[in-house]
Structure 1
Amino acid sequence: MSYVLNDAERFADEATTGFVAAHRDVVRHVPGGVARATATPPGEVAVVVGGGSGHYPAFAGLVGPGLAHAAALGNVFASPSAQQVHGVARSVATEAGVLLSYGNYAGDVLNFGLAEKRLRDEGVPVRTVRVTDDVSSAGPDERHSRRGIAGDLVVFRTAAWAAERGLPLDDVTDLAFRANDRTRSLGVAFSGCTLPGAAEPLFTVPDGQMGVGIGIHGEPGIDTRPLPTARELAVLFVETLLGERPDDVPAAEGARVGVILNGLGSVKGEELFVVYGAVAELLEAEGLTIVDPEVGEYATSFEMAGISLTLFWLDDDLEQAWTSPAYAAAYRKGAVRPSGPRLDDDARDPVETEDVAPSADGSAEAGRIVSAAIAAVRDVIDRDADELGRLDAIAGDGDHGIGMQRGARAAAEAAEDAVEAGAGAGTVLVRAGDAWAHRAGGTSGALWGAGLRAAGERLGDGAAPAPADVAEAVHAARATIQGFGGAEIGDKTLVDALVPFAEALAAAVEDDDALAEAWTAAADAATEAARATADLAPRLGRARSHVKRSAGTPDPGAISFARAMTAAGDALARNHEEGT
């Protein structure tokens, strides 16, 4: 658990403020995260990394010479929003372009992808390398689907080394891909972790047992085994990772490897050294040469008791990158220091808003109704956040309730501010969507934000929307969410509730039902469909690796969507009654 905090919702922001204050020689505040204290040299590719907070020293602690140029920092265990990634990248980009690199998690993929598109539209050259080192998260034939854990350090170091040599963007990208292709990791945990302000851990491990294949966001392991000795654990690590030797390494004997033994939060240094002694003996017995091993904390999960081992199979270029100097807040090697004048902090909110344009009277009234509906969504999510988190913890990382709560609260506040400024329905939805995406982060935050924005852009502010307009706006939201997330009916995601909702609403409106009545019927269809996801096997997202755990449990994203639509329908019904 977290013993020291002020406000759980502001924990990540306050931690970033304190981090910058403690390391002003290395980093500065920028919109959406932190960047090197000094400017990116002209003509140098900027390496921009990022992910959720709660993993220090990843990601803020890995910014500095020899490492990343900047890091986008999401909320606790939630990906940074697209706005944050864009703001951070713009703060360090040069004409040489930007390389985005991050762990392969659905929320990060979605938000970094949206930011990449925006940067490209602005003329910034961009490439992306996702870190996929965790062997437990998918089989060898699906390496592209694996998640990133402590191997982030390997890829970030390699990309930064290539960038600082002045290599062009394509070459920097190629080397980062090569580093990722030659990196393998496996993690175990002896206990779960608790998010700041939460009363219970995201998951638990039975006494005397160990979870194998654990993720850094509290994802349950793929297996539970009796607690091993340090040597037995080293054997499990080494045998598993040697069995995953990269295809372009012809034989283990004689190969050179970088090694990271990573503590996930509460395993102490002396314990790590006990394990590392056995790891080193086993690797050397296989004829491997260990190069610059790293033993310590590099990617953590709050107070989780756990360890991961990473092997990085070197070639000449990759070994130069791995052994090169670096100077970041949490990682220093060789002789290098920041050079050049320190730039000023820029802690602006990355969500930029323009003044509200005048709207038609009918649309302004509709904006008030939309704001009331979003407030109703906020209230039901506040009520059910803990339950949604427990549902998510069964086969995911347990943060769905907290993420939805952050997003709904931010959306409701933005909607109220927009109404006070005289905004119409379209602008209210757009502002609410942007706020939701920014504050929630993660997959659900990005999808809800994109969906609300798409609905708002379809409605506009020109006149009071008719029921058919609302149905078309919901259809636009559905198309956008499915387009970004790639989910279909049957994948066990919020789409399993969204599609029946959109179809039922369109059918009821076509039958000339009043909007409140049509919406209620559609919410009922979404609720029934959400419950039915208990019978589905997940095909996307983090639950995909835990099919057995997920069996019999409905998808939390579908459940939260159905409850949100029911609450919005109740608000519409109340408005209809008050109007009559």
Structure 2
Amino acid sequence: MTRLFNDPADFADEMIDGFVAANRNQVRRVTGGVVRSTRTPEGTVALVIGGGSGHYPAFGGIVGQGLAHGAAMGNLFASPSAHQVESVAKAAQRGGGVLLSYGNYAGDVLHFTQAQDALNAAGIPTRSVAVTDDISSAPLAEQHKRRGIAGDLTVFKSAAAAAEAGYDLDEVVRVATHANERTRSFGVAFSGCTLPGATEPLFTVPEGRMAVGMGIHGEPGIDETDVPTADELATLLVSSLLAELPEGVSEAAGARVGVILNGLGSVKYEELFVVYRAVAAQLEAAGVEIVDPEVGELVTSFDMAGVSLTLFWLDEELEGFWAAGADTPAYRKGVVAAAEQLDPSELVAETAAEIPESTDVSRAAAAVVVEALDALVQVIDTNVEELGRIDAVAGDGDHGIGMQRGARAAVTAAHAAADAGAGAHTVLHLAGDAWADRAGGTSGALWGLALRSVGTALGDEVAPGRTDVATGVQAAVDGIMSFGKAEVGQKTMVDALVPFTTTLSAAVADGADLVTAWTTAAAAASTAAAETADLLPKMGRARPHAEKSLGTVDAGAHSFGLIVTAIVPVLERAGGTTAPDRSTSTTTNEGVHA
């Protein structure tokens, strides 16, 4: 288990600070992650990678010459936010464009895609390649749905070497895509991992048994079998991967492959070498020629006891990139030319957000918003362990700590903005940005979007009424469903969000005051959240383990129900049940009107 930590919610930030302090000659801290501390020639394509923390050396550990130019580093097992990705990319880019590359997980796809759009809009040509090497997570016909695990390294390494060789953005994208198509991985685990502060692992494997088909986020395996001998495990790994040759590789005999035998956290190097001895023998017996094998911890999962095997099917171009030199904190190969240290003043600095003017009535509404966010934090803090337990049934168990991290950041930003004289719109927008940045992951993106949508409807000038609140919530739903692509019935937060919104809008249209409408809607959301126990997940990391989640509510829907219920007393204290929907007065001190 993870024993050394302070506040679990601060673990990722403190880890990154310590990592940078230990590797100042290779990496520098920027908002959202790290970038190279060495100078990159102007006009070079910048490779920016990233994902959740908890996988060291991925992702920050492979930033440096010959590999990534920057890494966006999210919360534990949660993708970095779009803002974090954008910030790292702006600091890393040197005029040749940016390639974003990451494992194919819902939150990463959402955030990196959003960052790509923002970077292109800012005039920085940006493309993306998601890694899909895990053969156990989807059939070949649905290869685009597969996860990215230890095969991340082959794609990152190839793209980075192409960039170092002077390839332009289109060509670097071509190389990364080709490397991804030529990479296959398969993993197993003997025990689950334990997040900082948790007393139990995310999942358990019965004594003497092995979970087959592991991801890197603590997801339960696809299958389970007796623990094999080292040679038997090698046979399982090799035979599974040889059974699916990439397009363009007609037969294994005579092929050349890069090999990665990756430890997930607790399997010792000596054990890995015993397994690799049999892996190498079996590949050679199949006529496969091994090129520059890697045996060790490259993409981990805290203290998970597990192993994955990656085969990277080479051609002449890819082999040159696989063998190219690299010098990073955690990965070194060959020789690289010494590079000049980058002056910190050359990195793009973030500026504090400006607080626009607001009216007295909007500032009064902002005070209610802050109180609602205080209540939100309290209910998340109370239920953080239970939310993590629910999420761990078929997911990765990070929902509780992710919600806690996002909510705390949001309320801190909201208090600071309100103290600076911000209106309701600005308070909610800054709170939403802070939530997305600190929580990361899918839920961070969606809650950030939700707060910003409601803030837009409330504005900074008028005293918002019940119709404005309903309009803002509906806008949040529309944005979440469009951005996240989830629909009712797919076992996500949407299953509670849609009934809440429908009920709220209907009650407001029928003339109910905000307290009554919100209370009724919160009850509908809680009921709908409870009913998700009977659904099978069709989105996100829980999808491959759908049957495991039957009988357990969706963590996102459940937390939403808890939050909207906790806000009811705040609205009751705010009062205003007889006020009109809108007021343009600048002197009243009424809060959110009913």
Would the TM-score normalized by the shorter structure come out above 0.5? yes
Q: Render the CA deviation track for 1:217-274: whole Å, top value 9, x for unaligned.
A: 1111111111110011001101111111112211111111110000111111110000
Shift of 1:574: 2.6
What is the one-letter code of the residue matched to 1:405? Q
What is the one-letter code of the residue matched to 1:235? T
Shift of 1:451: 1.3
What is the one-letter code of the residue matched to 1:171? E
Task: Measure the CA separation in 1 of the matches of 2:210 and 2:109.
Answer: 30
Shift of 1:337: 4.2
Indicate conservation of the 8 Å contact 1:48/1:68, yes or no: yes
2:468 is aligned to: 469
* Structure 1 unmatched runs, 5+: none
Shift of 1:349: 8.8
1:26–1:575 Cα change, 3 Å:
same
Q: Render the CA deviation track for 1:432-464: whole Å, top value 9, x for unaligned.
A: 111111111111011100111122122211100
What is the one-letter code of the residue matched to 2:554? D
Deviates more, 1:8-17 or 1:54-63: 8-17
Task: Measure the CA separation in 2 of the matches of 1:362 and 1:379.
Answer: 26
Within 5 Å, give how 1:286-365 maps onto structure 2: 286-344=286-344, 353-365=352-364
Q: Render the CA deviation track for 1:311-338: whole Å, top value 9, x for unaligned.
A: 0010110100111111111111111144
Q: Render the CA deviation track for 1:66-91: whole Å, top value 9, x for unaligned.
A: 10011111121111111111110000
Task: Measure the CA separation in 1 of the matches of 2:26 and 2:181.
Answer: 30
For residue 136 of structure 2, give the secondary structure of its aligned residue in structure 1.
helix
Task: Measure the CA separation in 1 of the matches of 2:103 and 2:569.
Answer: 40
2:369 is aligned to: 370
Task: Measure the CA separation in 2 of the matches of 1:199 and 1:271.
Answer: 27
Indicate conservation of the 8 Å contact 2:26/2:328, yes or no: yes
2:256 is aligned to: 256
Task: Measure the CA separation in 1 of the matches of 2:247 and 2:347.
Answer: 45
Shift of 1:345: 7.7
Task: Measure the CA separation in 2 of the matches of 1:94 and 1:493.
Answer: 40
Task: Measure the CA separation in 2 of the matches of 1:540 and 1:321.
Answer: 35
Task: Measure the CA separation in 2 of the matches of 1:217 and 1:347.
Answer: 32
Within 5 Å, give how 1:128-167 maps onto structure 2: 128-167=128-167
- TM-score normalised by L of structure 2: 0.95
Task: Measure the CA separation in 1 of the matches of 2:383 and 2:576.
Answer: 26
Shift of 1:140: 0.9
What is the one-letter code of the residue matched to 2:543? R
1:117 is aligned to: 117
Task: Measure the CA separation in 1 of the matches of 2:228 and 2:307.
Answer: 13
1:196–1:345 Cα change, 3 Å:
farther
Deviates more, 1:406-415 or 1:506-515: 406-415
Shift of 1:577: 8.4
Within 5 Å, give how 1:428-507 maps onto structure 2: 428-507=427-506
Shift of 1:569: 2.1
The CA RMSD over aligned residues, in Å, is 1.6
What is the one-letter code of the residue matched to 1:281? A
2:83 is aligned to: 83
Shift of 1:575: 2.2
Q: Render the CA deviation track for 1:265-308: whole Å, top value 9, x for unaligned.
A: 11111100000011111111111111111000100011111100
What is the one-letter code of the residue matched to 1:376? A
Indicate conservation of the 8 Å contact 2:358/2:423, yes or no: yes
1:348–1:514 Cα change, 3 Å:
farther
What is the one-letter code of the residue matched to 2:342? R
1:80–1:224 Cα change, 3 Å:
same
Deviates more, 1:81-90 or 1:14-23: 14-23
Task: Measure the CA separation in 1 of the matches of 2:165 and 2:480.
Answer: 40
Indicate conservation of the 8 Å contact 2:9/2:404, yes or no: no
Task: Measure the CA separation in 1 of the matches of 2:299 and 2:205.
Answer: 20
Indicate conservation of the 8 Å contact 1:530/1:562, yes or no: yes
1:102 is aligned to: 102
Indicate conservation of the 8 Å contact 2:39/2:339, yes or no: no
Task: Measure the CA separation in 2 of the matches of 1:11 and 1:202.
Answer: 17
1:388 is aligned to: 387
Indicate conservation of the 8 Å contact 1:29/1:346, yes or no: no
Indicate conservation of the 8 Å contact 1:38/1:339, yes or no: yes
Task: Measure the CA separation in 2 of the matches of 1:455 and 1:74.
Answer: 25
Shift of 1:38: 1.7
Deviates more, 1:392-401 or 1:17-26: 17-26
Task: Measure the CA separation in 2 of the matches of 1:310 and 1:401.
Answer: 32
Indicate conservation of the 8 Å contact 2:91/2:347, yes or no: no
Shift of 1:346: 8.8
For residue 546 of structure 1, give the secondary structure of its aligned residue in structure 2.
helix
For residue 135 of structure 1, give the secondary structure of its aligned residue in structure 2.
coil
What is the one-letter code of the residue matched to 2:328? A
Indicate conservation of the 8 Å contact 1:32/1:349, yes or no: no
Count of residues in Structure 1 that have an aligned counterpart in Structure 2:
579
- TM-score normalised by L of structure 1: 0.97
Indicate conservation of the 8 Å contact 2:217/2:301, yes or no: yes
What is the one-letter code of the residue matched to 1:556? A
Say whether residues 1:191 and 2:191 are aligned partners: yes
Task: Measure the CA separation in 2 of the matches of 1:481 and 1:353.
Answer: 27
**Identity among equivalent pairs (%):** 60
Task: Measure the CA separation in 2 of the matches of 1:103 and 1:249.
Answer: 24
1:211 is aligned to: 211
Indicate conservation of the 8 Å contact 2:49/2:59, yes or no: yes
* Structure 2 unmatched runs, 5+: 578-589
Task: Measure the CA separation in 2 of the matches of 1:460 and 1:334.
Answer: 57
What is the one-letter code of the residue matched to 2:369? V
Task: Measure the CA separation in 2 of the matches of 1:165 and 1:364.
Answer: 55
Task: Measure the CA separation in 2 of the matches of 1:113 and 1:353.
Answer: 25
Task: Measure the CA separation in 1 of the matches of 2:227 and 2:345.
Answer: 47
2:426 is aligned to: 427
Within 5 Å, give how 1:260-279 maps onto structure 2: 260-279=260-279
Indicate conservation of the 8 Å contact 1:500/1:526, yes or no: yes
Indicate conservation of the 8 Å contact 2:90/2:348, yes or no: no
Q: Render the CA deviation track for 1:329-372: whole Å, top value 9, x for unaligned.
A: 1111111144123332899996x542322212211111111111
What is the one-letter code of the residue matched to 1:483? S
For residue 532 of structure 2, give the secondary structure of its aligned residue in structure 1.
helix
What is the one-letter code of the residue matched to 1:413? T
